[in-house]
Structure 1
């Protein structure tokens, strides 16, 4: 009896031996499975980070892309600022001189009917992360008058007056006058009078004089205070404050 043949037949009964081709195929399958698992982990991690960032943006600090030059030189087109949403939630109401982001629906813009809800959702998410321009209803301006203030333009030297005191505004765009439009308004309680720093290039409360609401923005529509510049890196830092309104008192105070 041929023992070599007997052993060969016995070995084949346990299945074919794994050759180079089978091993290579197995390695490729393992590689594809490993890659798929890596992609799933990456996608899951990315989704979790996005959710965390959106929650942080909605409730704490929101990046905001500056779309226009109405706040130059303080804020420039393309700047990405960080809006402190807790500034007024646990602290005082907006103060004169604060730079704020607010929803202008019902004041700066008319009520709008909803468009494509999915597109609006995606745009809102991108805007919340500072990746897209803000909604057309969002504005960034400086608070010039708060509830009860009388804001007048202008005194004999062309300066704004708030509650009878003239205000020097060092943040104005070079060459701009405080306002080319004369006005005399009293800000209702719970509202704000808003103006851009680039007065000749700013659509603000002045443009809405004589219209319903008179250009006043409800305090409840303020999204937050612009506290920091996050981009570009050369301008990284806090948004400078101003002492322009330090001498302004309550309505009926002494004239300056």
Structure 2
């Protein structure tokens, strides 16, 4: 008598076809490209937010701040700290033209592809296409300050106190005054009085008093405070604001009135 065995037999898995393997590789390739694209987009977005709200890059197109800043130096500008702490005398600031400080631009239009590439690089701080539309100077007078040039020693006074700027300004000779032109101004509220460190070659507040803003820079026009030179590498380093020069300057309300010598 023959006994027949019965039962279920699991089928052996079939080997994957070449088409299935190709499809999986294709899906894997697209997934990789998708991940790379997401990473790039996130990086660009973060860089854009940093540039817009935290740090911006500018290049120096003129010699008005020599020898603190040289032509074609690249700098980073801190946008966020001044929003909380404000500005101080001695700070080096970048600001939009208050009106009439810069000559009309006659630069030829660039090809659209170059403009698009420059704009893209600016999103991540690798280009600074609007540097020619901004200026960089040092704050000498804060709102309410009485700024005068010059005393008998050729020094600028702020609220009646002379400031010794010999460590950072460039002048024609050791006995030259801190400014070749005299001025006597009181800085309006929400405004700044700014000068270039290259005092005899800077078109700053002194030379724009005939403009609508009378030479003063509205604080709302200030982009931020420059704090480091990033290029060229042999000049890499932080910028000195020389706050010690202004340490003894009193607040505007504390200025002593000038005494009349006539009795």
Q: TM-score, normalised by structure 1?
A: 0.74
Partner of 2:229: 229
Q: Does 1:137 align with 2:133?
A: yes
The alignment's C-alpha RMSD in Å is 3.4
Partner of 2:211: 211
- For the structure 1 residues 139 and 217, does the alpha-carbon distance in structure 2 shift closer, same or farther, using more than 3 Å as the test? same
Q: Does 1:79 align with 2:80?
A: no
Shift of 1:195: 0.7
| 2:74–2:230 Cα contact (<8 Å) kept | yes
Shift of 1:211: 2.9
Per-residue Cα deviation, 1:97-141 (whole angstroms, up to 9, x for no partner): 0001111244635999xx99x898875664561423434331111
- For the structure 1 residues 201 and 40, does the alpha-carbon distance in structure 2 shift closer, same or farther, using more than 3 Å as the test? farther
Q: TM-score, normalised by structure 2?
A: 0.72
Partner of 1:21: none
Moved more, 229-238 or 149-158: 229-238
Partner of 2:101: 108
| 1:194–1:217 Cα contact (<8 Å) kept | yes
Partner of 1:244: 245
Per-residue Cα deviation, 1:162-190 (whole angstroms, up to 9, x for no partner): 11111111210253642111111110011
Q: List gaps (5 residues or longer) in structure 2.
A: 1-20, 259-263
Q: Distance in 2 between matches of 1:123 and 1:97?
A: 32
Partner of 1:48: 42
| 1:154–1:182 Cα contact (<8 Å) kept | yes
Q: Specify which of 85, 89, 97 is matched with residue 90 of structure 2.
A: 97
Partner of 2:14: none
Q: Distance in 1 between matches of 2:63 and 2:122?
A: 18
Q: Specify which of 58, 61, 70 is matched with residue 55 of structure 2.
A: 61
- For the structure 1 residues 144 and 137, does the alpha-carbon distance in structure 2 shift closer, same or farther, using more than 3 Å as the test? same
Shift of 1:210: 3.1
Report how many aligned residue pairs link the two structures: 228
